Chain A
Amino acid sequence: MAQKLDYLKETPSQTAGPYVHIGLAPGAAGFDIYRSELGWDIAGPNAAGERIRVEGVVIDGTGNPVKDVLIEAWQANASGVYAHPESGGEVEDGFRGWGRVITDFETGEWGFDTVKPGPVKARRKLGTGPLHEPANAGGDWLGRADEAHENMAPHINLWIVARGINIGLNTRVYFDDEAEANAKDPVLNLIEWQNRRPTLIAKRGERDGKVVYRFDIRLQGENETVFFDI
Protein backbone atom coordinates (compact mmCIF):
# COMPACT_ATOMS: atom_id res chain seq x y z
CA MET A 1 0.00 0.00 0.00
CA ALA A 2 1.18 3.47 -0.84
CA GLN A 3 0.51 6.58 1.14
CA LYS A 4 -2.91 8.05 0.75
CA LEU A 5 -3.15 11.24 -1.30
CA ASP A 6 -5.02 13.83 0.70
CA TYR A 7 -6.61 15.79 -2.11
CA LEU A 8 -10.30 16.45 -1.73
CA LYS A 9 -12.55 15.24 -4.55
CA GLU A 10 -14.69 17.59 -6.60
CA THR A 11 -18.37 17.71 -5.65
CA PRO A 12 -20.29 15.72 -8.30
CA SER A 13 -22.53 17.56 -10.70
CA GLN A 14 -26.28 17.09 -10.86
CA THR A 15 -28.79 18.27 -13.43
CA ALA A 16 -30.03 21.85 -13.08
CA GLY A 17 -33.55 20.44 -13.55
CA PRO A 18 -36.60 22.01 -15.18
CA TYR A 19 -36.98 24.80 -12.61
CA VAL A 20 -33.47 26.23 -12.90
CA HIS A 21 -35.10 29.59 -13.62
CA ILE A 22 -36.27 29.91 -10.01
CA GLY A 23 -32.71 30.22 -8.83
CA LEU A 24 -30.94 31.78 -11.75
CA ALA A 25 -33.70 33.68 -13.60
CA PRO A 26 -36.64 34.06 -11.19
CA GLY A 27 -38.40 36.59 -13.40
CA ALA A 28 -38.78 33.90 -16.03
CA ALA A 29 -40.15 31.49 -13.41
CA GLY A 30 -42.85 34.07 -12.78
CA PHE A 31 -41.79 36.17 -9.81
CA ASP A 32 -39.60 39.12 -8.93
CA ILE A 33 -37.50 38.78 -5.82
CA TYR A 34 -34.07 40.36 -6.29
CA ARG A 35 -33.07 44.00 -6.65
CA SER A 36 -31.46 42.93 -9.90
CA GLU A 37 -30.99 39.60 -11.62
CA LEU A 38 -27.46 38.79 -12.67
CA GLY A 39 -26.26 38.18 -16.17
CA TRP A 40 -28.58 40.12 -18.44
CA ASP A 41 -25.98 42.63 -19.61
CA ILE A 42 -22.72 41.14 -20.83
CA ALA A 43 -20.89 44.10 -22.28
CA GLY A 44 -22.46 47.21 -20.75
CA PRO A 45 -22.92 50.53 -22.53
CA ASN A 46 -19.26 51.58 -22.42
CA ALA A 47 -17.77 48.60 -24.19
CA ALA A 48 -15.92 49.31 -27.41
CA GLY A 49 -16.29 47.14 -30.47
CA GLU A 50 -18.95 45.92 -32.81
CA ARG A 51 -22.38 45.38 -31.26
CA ILE A 52 -23.71 41.97 -32.17
CA ARG A 53 -26.48 39.57 -31.24
CA VAL A 54 -25.88 35.83 -30.94
CA GLU A 55 -28.93 33.61 -31.06
CA GLY A 56 -30.12 30.14 -31.80
CA VAL A 57 -32.00 27.16 -30.56
CA VAL A 58 -30.90 24.00 -28.75
CA ILE A 59 -32.06 20.80 -30.44
CA ASP A 60 -32.22 17.39 -28.79
CA GLY A 61 -31.56 13.96 -30.28
CA THR A 62 -35.15 13.66 -31.51
CA GLY A 63 -34.83 16.88 -33.52
CA ASN A 64 -37.00 18.93 -31.19
CA PRO A 65 -36.07 22.25 -29.59
CA VAL A 66 -35.18 22.13 -25.91
CA LYS A 67 -37.28 24.75 -24.13
CA ASP A 68 -35.86 24.73 -20.62
CA VAL A 69 -32.18 25.42 -21.23
CA LEU A 70 -30.01 27.94 -19.43
CA ILE A 71 -26.86 29.12 -21.21
CA GLU A 72 -24.01 31.11 -19.74
CA ALA A 73 -21.56 33.01 -21.91
CA TRP A 74 -18.01 34.04 -21.03
CA GLN A 75 -16.04 36.23 -23.40
CA ALA A 76 -13.25 38.76 -23.75
CA ASN A 77 -13.84 42.37 -24.77
CA ALA A 78 -13.05 43.73 -28.23
CA SER A 79 -9.39 44.02 -27.24
CA GLY A 80 -9.20 40.37 -26.23
CA VAL A 81 -9.17 41.00 -22.46
CA TYR A 82 -11.36 39.09 -20.00
CA ALA A 83 -12.87 40.88 -17.00
CA HIS A 84 -10.68 38.88 -14.64
CA PRO A 85 -7.43 39.77 -12.89
CA GLU A 86 -5.52 36.94 -14.57
CA SER A 87 -6.35 38.10 -18.06
CA GLY A 88 -3.78 40.89 -17.84
CA GLY A 89 -5.38 44.12 -19.00
CA GLU A 90 -8.21 46.49 -18.34
CA VAL A 91 -11.77 46.23 -19.52
CA GLU A 92 -14.30 49.01 -19.92
CA ASP A 93 -16.28 50.08 -16.87
CA GLY A 94 -19.37 47.88 -16.78
CA PHE A 95 -17.97 45.22 -19.09
CA ARG A 96 -18.55 41.93 -17.33
CA GLY A 97 -17.97 39.49 -20.14
CA TRP A 98 -20.41 37.08 -18.57
CA GLY A 99 -24.07 36.60 -19.17
CA ARG A 100 -26.84 34.08 -18.83
CA VAL A 101 -29.85 33.55 -21.01
CA ILE A 102 -32.71 31.10 -21.12
CA THR A 103 -34.67 29.63 -23.97
CA ASP A 104 -38.19 30.79 -24.71
CA PHE A 105 -40.69 28.37 -23.14
CA GLU A 106 -42.73 28.24 -26.37
CA THR A 107 -40.15 28.34 -29.15
CA GLY A 108 -36.85 27.34 -27.58
CA GLU A 109 -35.14 30.43 -29.04
CA TRP A 110 -32.37 32.08 -27.04
CA GLY A 111 -30.18 35.08 -27.76
CA PHE A 112 -27.94 37.67 -26.18
CA ASP A 113 -26.65 41.11 -27.12
CA THR A 114 -22.97 41.76 -26.68
CA VAL A 115 -19.86 43.00 -28.47
CA LYS A 116 -17.78 40.86 -30.74
CA PRO A 117 -14.75 39.65 -28.74
CA GLY A 118 -11.22 40.19 -29.94
CA PRO A 119 -8.65 37.41 -30.34
CA VAL A 120 -6.98 36.20 -27.13
CA LYS A 121 -3.60 34.58 -26.67
CA ALA A 122 -3.42 30.84 -27.05
CA ARG A 123 -1.45 28.53 -24.82
CA ARG A 124 2.23 28.25 -25.53
CA LYS A 125 2.78 25.75 -28.28
CA LEU A 126 4.35 22.48 -27.28
CA GLY A 127 7.95 22.34 -28.32
CA THR A 128 8.47 26.09 -28.50
CA GLY A 129 10.79 26.20 -25.52
CA PRO A 130 12.23 24.22 -22.66
CA LEU A 131 9.42 22.62 -20.71
CA HIS A 132 10.40 23.97 -17.34
CA GLU A 133 11.11 27.53 -18.28
CA PRO A 134 8.74 30.41 -18.73
CA ALA A 135 7.82 31.18 -22.31
CA ASN A 136 10.02 34.23 -22.02
CA ALA A 137 10.94 36.85 -19.46
CA GLY A 138 7.88 38.81 -18.48
CA GLY A 139 5.56 36.27 -20.00
CA ASP A 140 3.39 33.98 -17.92
CA TRP A 141 2.49 30.34 -18.21
CA LEU A 142 -0.07 31.09 -20.89
CA GLY A 143 2.61 32.62 -23.03
CA ARG A 144 1.18 36.11 -23.12
CA ALA A 145 3.84 38.56 -24.20
CA ASP A 146 5.53 35.82 -26.18
CA GLU A 147 5.51 36.94 -29.80
CA ALA A 148 5.90 33.41 -31.04
CA HIS A 149 2.50 32.41 -29.74
CA GLU A 150 -0.57 32.47 -31.85
CA ASN A 151 -3.86 34.00 -30.96
CA MET A 152 -7.03 32.05 -30.70
CA ALA A 153 -9.67 33.21 -33.15
CA PRO A 154 -12.41 35.38 -31.61
CA HIS A 155 -14.80 33.16 -29.69
CA ILE A 156 -17.38 33.11 -26.91
CA ASN A 157 -17.31 30.29 -24.36
CA LEU A 158 -20.70 28.75 -23.57
CA TRP A 159 -21.86 26.56 -20.71
CA ILE A 160 -25.19 24.80 -21.17
CA VAL A 161 -27.35 23.28 -18.44
CA ALA A 162 -30.89 21.89 -18.47
CA ARG A 163 -33.16 19.13 -17.32
CA GLY A 164 -31.67 15.89 -18.64
CA ILE A 165 -28.13 17.30 -18.79
CA ASN A 166 -26.25 15.76 -15.86
CA ILE A 167 -23.16 17.92 -16.14
CA GLY A 168 -22.92 21.28 -17.90
CA LEU A 169 -21.80 21.13 -21.52
CA ASN A 170 -19.00 23.42 -22.66
CA THR A 171 -18.72 24.67 -26.21
CA ARG A 172 -17.43 27.70 -28.12
CA VAL A 173 -19.01 30.10 -30.60
CA TYR A 174 -16.70 31.18 -33.45
CA PHE A 175 -17.67 33.60 -36.25
CA ASP A 176 -17.95 32.79 -39.95
CA ASP A 177 -16.53 36.17 -41.00
CA GLU A 178 -13.23 35.26 -39.27
CA ALA A 179 -12.33 32.48 -41.69
CA GLU A 180 -8.62 33.25 -41.72
CA ALA A 181 -8.32 33.30 -37.93
CA ASN A 182 -10.56 30.25 -37.60
CA ALA A 183 -8.31 28.30 -39.98
CA LYS A 184 -5.38 28.86 -37.59
CA ASP A 185 -7.25 28.49 -34.32
CA PRO A 186 -5.50 25.89 -32.12
CA VAL A 187 -8.75 24.66 -30.55
CA LEU A 188 -10.64 24.23 -33.81
CA ASN A 189 -7.58 22.47 -35.19
CA LEU A 190 -7.63 20.08 -32.28
CA ILE A 191 -10.88 18.63 -33.60
CA GLU A 192 -9.68 15.71 -35.65
CA TRP A 193 -12.82 15.48 -37.77
CA GLN A 194 -12.79 18.53 -40.02
CA ASN A 195 -16.46 18.16 -40.82
CA ARG A 196 -17.31 18.71 -37.13
CA ARG A 197 -15.55 22.08 -36.92
CA PRO A 198 -18.34 24.03 -38.65
CA THR A 199 -20.71 23.10 -35.79
CA LEU A 200 -18.85 25.77 -33.76
CA ILE A 201 -19.04 28.56 -36.33
CA ALA A 202 -21.93 30.99 -36.09
CA LYS A 203 -23.39 32.43 -39.29
CA ARG A 204 -23.45 36.17 -39.70
CA GLY A 205 -26.61 37.84 -40.88
CA GLU A 206 -28.45 41.06 -40.45
CA ARG A 207 -31.88 41.97 -39.11
CA ASP A 208 -33.28 45.48 -38.81
CA GLY A 209 -29.81 46.86 -39.41
CA LYS A 210 -28.38 44.81 -36.58
CA VAL A 211 -25.67 42.16 -36.85
CA VAL A 212 -27.00 38.76 -35.80
CA TYR A 213 -25.00 35.55 -35.58
CA ARG A 214 -26.99 32.33 -35.72
CA PHE A 215 -25.67 29.51 -33.54
CA ASP A 216 -27.85 26.45 -33.23
CA ILE A 217 -26.71 23.78 -30.80
CA ARG A 218 -27.40 20.13 -31.55
CA LEU A 219 -27.03 18.03 -28.43
CA GLN A 220 -27.06 14.69 -30.18
CA GLY A 221 -27.11 13.00 -33.56
CA GLU A 222 -26.57 14.44 -37.02
CA ASN A 223 -24.28 17.50 -36.94
CA GLU A 224 -23.90 17.14 -33.21
CA THR A 225 -22.21 20.24 -31.79
CA VAL A 226 -18.66 19.73 -30.53
CA PHE A 227 -18.50 19.82 -26.73
CA PHE A 228 -15.31 20.21 -24.74
CA ASP A 229 -13.89 18.82 -21.55
CA ILE A 230 -12.20 21.95 -20.28
Chain B
Amino acid sequence: MSQAEFYQRDRERHPPALTPDYKTSVARSPRNALISLQQSVSEITGPVFGHNDIDPIDNDLIHNYAKAGASAIGERIIVHGRVLDENGRPVAGTLVEAWQANAGGRYRHKKDTYLAPIDPNFGGCGRTITDENGYYFFRTVKPGAYPWRNWVNNWRPAHIHMSIFGTSFSQRLITQCYFEGDPLIAKCPIVKTIPTQDGIDSLVAALDLNATIPLDSIAYKFDIVLRGRRSTLFENRLEGN
Protein backbone atom coordinates (compact mmCIF):
# COMPACT_ATOMS: atom_id res chain seq x y z
CA MET B 1 0.00 0.00 0.00
CA SER B 2 1.76 3.14 -1.12
CA GLN B 3 -0.96 5.72 -0.84
CA ALA B 4 -2.60 7.23 2.18
CA GLU B 5 -5.37 9.70 2.79
CA PHE B 6 -6.63 12.37 0.43
CA TYR B 7 -5.60 15.99 0.80
CA GLN B 8 -7.82 17.98 3.09
CA ARG B 9 -10.66 19.61 1.23
CA ASP B 10 -10.11 23.36 0.88
CA ARG B 11 -13.36 24.62 2.35
CA GLU B 12 -12.43 28.19 1.39
CA ARG B 13 -12.60 27.19 -2.26
CA HIS B 14 -15.96 25.45 -2.03
CA PRO B 15 -19.15 27.31 -1.25
CA PRO B 16 -19.96 27.51 2.45
CA ALA B 17 -23.23 25.86 3.51
CA LEU B 18 -24.96 29.13 4.38
CA THR B 19 -25.21 31.51 1.42
CA PRO B 20 -28.32 33.65 2.07
CA ASP B 21 -28.62 35.11 -1.45
CA TYR B 22 -29.32 31.55 -2.50
CA LYS B 23 -32.41 31.44 -0.33
CA THR B 24 -32.96 27.70 -0.03
CA SER B 25 -29.57 27.37 1.66
CA VAL B 26 -30.78 29.32 4.70
CA ALA B 27 -32.88 26.51 6.21
CA ARG B 28 -30.82 23.68 4.72
CA SER B 29 -27.38 24.56 6.13
CA PRO B 30 -26.06 23.08 9.38
CA ARG B 31 -25.39 25.59 12.16
CA ASN B 32 -22.83 23.43 13.91
CA ALA B 33 -19.29 23.01 12.64
CA LEU B 34 -18.42 19.89 10.67
CA ILE B 35 -16.46 17.30 12.63
CA SER B 36 -13.16 16.69 10.85
CA LEU B 37 -12.19 13.04 10.38
CA GLN B 38 -8.82 11.60 9.67
CA GLN B 39 -9.66 9.13 6.95
CA SER B 40 -10.17 5.44 7.54
CA VAL B 41 -10.97 2.66 5.09
CA SER B 42 -14.58 3.95 5.12
CA GLU B 43 -13.47 7.17 3.43
CA ILE B 44 -10.62 6.05 1.16
CA THR B 45 -12.75 3.46 -0.63
CA GLY B 46 -15.75 4.06 -2.86
CA PRO B 47 -17.94 2.36 -5.43
CA VAL B 48 -16.36 0.93 -8.56
CA PHE B 49 -18.18 1.03 -11.91
CA GLY B 50 -17.50 -0.75 -15.15
CA HIS B 51 -18.62 -0.64 -18.74
CA ASN B 52 -21.20 -3.32 -17.96
CA ASP B 53 -23.08 -0.72 -15.92
CA ILE B 54 -23.77 1.61 -18.85
CA ASP B 55 -24.37 1.57 -22.59
CA PRO B 56 -22.23 3.28 -25.27
CA ILE B 57 -25.14 5.54 -26.32
CA ASP B 58 -25.51 6.87 -22.77
CA ASN B 59 -23.15 9.80 -23.34
CA ASP B 60 -24.93 11.02 -26.49
CA LEU B 61 -27.78 13.23 -25.28
CA ILE B 62 -28.64 14.23 -28.84
CA HIS B 63 -29.71 10.67 -29.54
CA ASN B 64 -30.13 8.71 -26.30
CA TYR B 65 -33.78 9.70 -25.94
CA ALA B 66 -34.58 10.54 -29.56
CA LYS B 67 -36.91 8.57 -31.77
CA ALA B 68 -35.21 6.58 -34.52
CA GLY B 69 -33.79 8.95 -37.12
CA ALA B 70 -34.50 12.05 -35.03
CA SER B 71 -32.25 14.19 -32.86
CA ALA B 72 -32.63 16.80 -30.15
CA ILE B 73 -33.19 20.42 -31.20
CA GLY B 74 -30.62 23.04 -30.26
CA GLU B 75 -27.02 24.08 -30.67
CA ARG B 76 -25.12 20.84 -31.10
CA ILE B 77 -22.12 20.74 -28.78
CA ILE B 78 -19.48 18.38 -27.45
CA VAL B 79 -18.52 18.83 -23.82
CA HIS B 80 -15.24 17.10 -23.20
CA GLY B 81 -12.29 17.16 -20.87
CA ARG B 82 -10.27 15.23 -18.37
CA VAL B 83 -10.86 14.21 -14.80
CA LEU B 84 -7.62 14.81 -12.91
CA ASP B 85 -6.61 14.81 -9.28
CA GLU B 86 -4.85 17.67 -7.54
CA ASN B 87 -1.51 16.03 -8.35
CA GLY B 88 -2.39 16.35 -12.03
CA ARG B 89 -2.80 12.60 -12.48
CA PRO B 90 -5.66 11.28 -14.59
CA VAL B 91 -8.57 9.66 -12.77
CA ALA B 92 -9.24 6.68 -15.03
CA GLY B 93 -12.33 4.49 -15.07
CA THR B 94 -14.51 6.82 -13.06
CA LEU B 95 -18.20 7.39 -13.60
CA VAL B 96 -19.27 10.85 -14.78
CA GLU B 97 -23.00 11.61 -14.90
CA ALA B 98 -24.55 14.73 -16.42
CA TRP B 99 -28.01 16.28 -16.56
CA GLN B 100 -29.40 19.47 -18.04
CA ALA B 101 -32.37 21.38 -19.41
CA ASN B 102 -33.14 21.38 -23.13
CA ALA B 103 -32.27 24.20 -25.54
CA GLY B 104 -35.22 26.24 -24.26
CA GLY B 105 -34.33 25.89 -20.58
CA ARG B 106 -37.01 23.27 -19.83
CA TYR B 107 -36.21 20.21 -17.75
CA ARG B 108 -37.83 16.87 -18.36
CA HIS B 109 -38.97 16.58 -14.75
CA LYS B 110 -42.47 16.33 -13.41
CA LYS B 111 -41.78 19.19 -11.01
CA ASP B 112 -40.63 21.63 -13.73
CA THR B 113 -43.56 23.76 -14.89
CA TYR B 114 -41.68 26.41 -16.89
CA LEU B 115 -43.73 27.34 -19.97
CA ALA B 116 -40.96 26.62 -22.47
CA PRO B 117 -41.80 23.32 -24.18
CA ILE B 118 -40.37 19.85 -23.71
CA ASP B 119 -38.35 18.57 -26.67
CA PRO B 120 -39.83 15.15 -27.50
CA ASN B 121 -36.40 13.96 -28.64
CA PHE B 122 -34.42 15.11 -25.64
CA GLY B 123 -34.24 13.39 -22.25
CA GLY B 124 -31.51 15.47 -20.64
CA CYS B 125 -29.20 13.00 -18.93
CA GLY B 126 -26.07 11.11 -19.82
CA ARG B 127 -23.27 9.13 -18.26
CA THR B 128 -19.86 7.85 -19.21
CA ILE B 129 -16.72 6.31 -17.76
CA THR B 130 -13.37 8.06 -18.15
CA ASP B 131 -10.73 6.29 -20.25
CA GLU B 132 -7.20 5.43 -19.14
CA ASN B 133 -6.18 9.09 -19.56
CA GLY B 134 -9.08 10.35 -17.48
CA TYR B 135 -10.76 11.62 -20.65
CA TYR B 136 -14.54 11.86 -21.07
CA PHE B 137 -16.96 13.45 -23.50
CA PHE B 138 -20.65 14.07 -23.92
CA ARG B 139 -22.49 14.99 -27.10
CA THR B 140 -25.51 17.16 -26.37
CA VAL B 141 -27.31 20.41 -27.16
CA LYS B 142 -26.40 23.60 -25.35
CA PRO B 143 -28.95 24.12 -22.57
CA GLY B 144 -30.97 27.31 -22.38
CA ALA B 145 -31.13 29.69 -19.42
CA TYR B 146 -34.16 29.28 -17.19
CA PRO B 147 -35.97 31.31 -14.56
CA TRP B 148 -36.23 30.20 -10.94
CA ARG B 149 -38.00 31.42 -7.87
CA ASN B 150 -35.31 33.02 -5.76
CA TRP B 151 -35.48 36.74 -6.30
CA VAL B 152 -38.39 37.57 -8.57
CA ASN B 153 -36.24 37.91 -11.68
CA ASN B 154 -33.45 35.33 -11.29
CA TRP B 155 -32.26 33.34 -14.31
CA ARG B 156 -29.82 30.48 -14.17
CA PRO B 157 -27.01 30.71 -16.71
CA ALA B 158 -26.87 27.87 -19.22
CA HIS B 159 -25.40 24.98 -17.27
CA ILE B 160 -24.89 21.24 -17.19
CA HIS B 161 -24.93 19.46 -13.83
CA MET B 162 -22.05 17.03 -13.40
CA SER B 163 -21.64 14.22 -10.88
CA ILE B 164 -18.23 12.57 -10.45
CA PHE B 165 -17.22 9.68 -8.22
CA GLY B 166 -13.43 9.42 -8.27
CA THR B 167 -11.95 6.43 -6.49
CA SER B 168 -13.11 7.13 -2.95
CA PHE B 169 -16.23 8.27 -1.16
CA SER B 170 -14.27 11.31 0.02
CA GLN B 171 -13.78 12.46 -3.60
CA ARG B 172 -17.50 12.39 -4.37
CA LEU B 173 -18.50 15.64 -6.07
CA ILE B 174 -21.44 17.30 -7.76
CA THR B 175 -20.89 20.56 -9.59
CA GLN B 176 -22.16 22.60 -12.53
CA CYS B 177 -20.50 23.42 -15.84
CA TYR B 178 -21.11 26.90 -17.29
CA PHE B 179 -20.23 28.27 -20.72
CA GLU B 180 -17.64 30.86 -21.68
CA GLY B 181 -18.98 34.33 -22.26
CA ASP B 182 -22.42 33.91 -20.66
CA PRO B 183 -23.35 37.26 -19.04
CA LEU B 184 -25.72 35.52 -16.61
CA ILE B 185 -22.82 33.82 -14.82
CA ALA B 186 -21.87 37.01 -12.98
CA LYS B 187 -25.49 37.57 -11.88
CA CYS B 188 -26.31 34.14 -10.49
CA PRO B 189 -26.70 33.68 -6.70
CA ILE B 190 -25.85 29.98 -7.06
CA VAL B 191 -22.63 30.71 -8.95
CA LYS B 192 -21.84 33.37 -6.36
CA THR B 193 -22.01 30.88 -3.50
CA ILE B 194 -18.42 30.17 -4.61
CA PRO B 195 -16.17 32.51 -2.66
CA THR B 196 -13.39 33.17 -5.17
CA GLN B 197 -13.33 34.36 -8.77
CA ASP B 198 -10.70 31.74 -9.54
CA GLY B 199 -13.09 29.07 -8.29
CA ILE B 200 -15.91 30.46 -10.42
CA ASP B 201 -13.67 30.59 -13.49
CA SER B 202 -12.81 26.94 -12.99
CA LEU B 203 -16.47 26.04 -13.60
CA VAL B 204 -16.66 27.84 -16.95
CA ALA B 205 -16.08 25.58 -19.94
CA ALA B 206 -13.95 27.16 -22.65
CA LEU B 207 -14.97 27.25 -26.29
CA ASP B 208 -12.62 24.72 -27.89
CA LEU B 209 -12.56 25.23 -31.64
CA ASN B 210 -9.80 22.66 -32.01
CA ALA B 211 -12.22 19.96 -30.89
CA THR B 212 -15.24 20.99 -32.91
CA ILE B 213 -16.46 18.74 -35.66
CA PRO B 214 -16.71 21.03 -38.72
CA LEU B 215 -20.24 21.37 -40.06
CA ASP B 216 -21.53 19.26 -37.16
CA SER B 217 -20.86 20.34 -33.55
CA ILE B 218 -19.14 23.07 -31.54
CA ALA B 219 -16.97 21.94 -28.61
CA TYR B 220 -16.42 23.15 -25.06
CA LYS B 221 -13.64 21.91 -22.82
CA PHE B 222 -14.40 21.25 -19.17
CA ASP B 223 -11.71 19.69 -17.00
CA ILE B 224 -12.63 18.44 -13.55
CA VAL B 225 -10.21 18.22 -10.62
CA LEU B 226 -10.80 15.83 -7.72
CA ARG B 227 -8.94 15.70 -4.43
CA GLY B 228 -5.35 14.55 -4.63
CA ARG B 229 -3.84 11.88 -2.50
CA ARG B 230 -0.90 11.81 -0.17
CA SER B 231 1.85 9.29 -0.64
CA THR B 232 2.57 7.32 2.46
CA LEU B 233 5.02 8.71 4.97
CA PHE B 234 5.56 5.23 6.34
CA GLU B 235 8.00 4.34 3.60
CA ASN B 236 11.51 5.52 2.98
CA ARG B 237 10.60 7.79 0.12
CA LEU B 238 7.61 9.61 -1.22
CA GLU B 239 6.38 7.77 -4.25
CA GLY B 240 5.18 9.51 -7.32
CA ASN B 241 4.80 13.11 -6.25
Task: Give chain A's interface residues, CB within 8 Å of chain B.
Answer: 6-24, 26, 29-31, 33-36, 38, 60-62, 66, 68, 72, 74, 76, 82-87, 96-98, 105, 120-123, 131-134, 140-142, 144, 152, 155, 157, 159, 161-169, 172, 187, 190-191, 196, 219-221, 224-230
Interface CB pairs A-B, < 8 A, 8: A30-B110, A33-B64, A33-B65, A74-B45, A152-B42, A166-B16, A187-B37, A225-B30
Measured CA separation A81–B163 after assembly (Å): 26
Inter-chain contact A141/B109, CB cutoff 8 Å:
no
Number of A-B contacts (CB under 8 A): 272
Pick the contact of A141 from B31, B123, B170, B234 — CB < 8 Å?
B234
- Given A19-B112, A33-B64, A220-B27, A10 and B35 contact (CB-CB distance below 8 Å): no
Inter-chain contact B110/A165, CB cutoff 8 Å:
no
Question: How would residues 160 to 196 of chain B score, 1 for a CB under 8 Å from any chain A CB and 0 otherwise?
Answer: 0101000001101111100000000000001101100
Q: B22 within 8 Å of A by Cβ? A: yes
Q: B154 within 8 Å of A by Cβ? A: no
Chain B residues near A35: list those with CB within 8 A. 54-55
Measured CA separation A175–B25 after assembly (Å): 30
- Given A13-B14, A30-B110, A133-B234, A229 and B35 contact (CB-CB distance below 8 Å): yes
Inter-chain contact A134/B234, CB cutoff 8 Å:
yes
Inter-chain contact A14/B46, CB cutoff 8 Å:
no
Interface core residue of A60, A164, A169, A196 (most chain B CB under 10 Å): A164
Inter-chain contact B14/A166, CB cutoff 8 Å:
yes
Measured CA separation A83–B57 after assembly (Å): 27
Closest Cβ–Cβ distance, residue A86 to chain B (whole Å)? 6
The A interface, classified by DSSP as helix, strand, loop or mixed, is: loop
Chain B residues near A20: list those with CB within 8 A. 99, 161, 174
Chain A residues near B132: list those with CB within 8 A. none
Inter-chain contact A227/B38, CB cutoff 8 Å:
no
Inter-chain contact A7/B107, CB cutoff 8 Å:
no
Which positions 2-18 of chain B face chain A at CB distance < 8 Å? 4, 7, 9-11, 13-17
Partner-binding segment picked from B67-75, B81-89, B210-218: B81-89
Nearest-CB residue, chain B, relative to A67:
B111
Inter-chain contact A7/B228, CB cutoff 8 Å:
yes
Inter-chain contact A166/B36, CB cutoff 8 Å:
no
Chain A residues near B174: list those with CB within 8 A. 13-16, 20, 161, 168
Inter-chain contact A11/B163, CB cutoff 8 Å:
no
Inter-chain contact A97/B47, CB cutoff 8 Å:
yes
Chain B residues near A161: list those with CB within 8 A. 174
Q: B124 within 8 Å of A by Cβ? A: yes
Q: B44 within 8 Å of A by Cβ? A: yes
Chain A residues near B9: list those with CB within 8 A. 10, 229
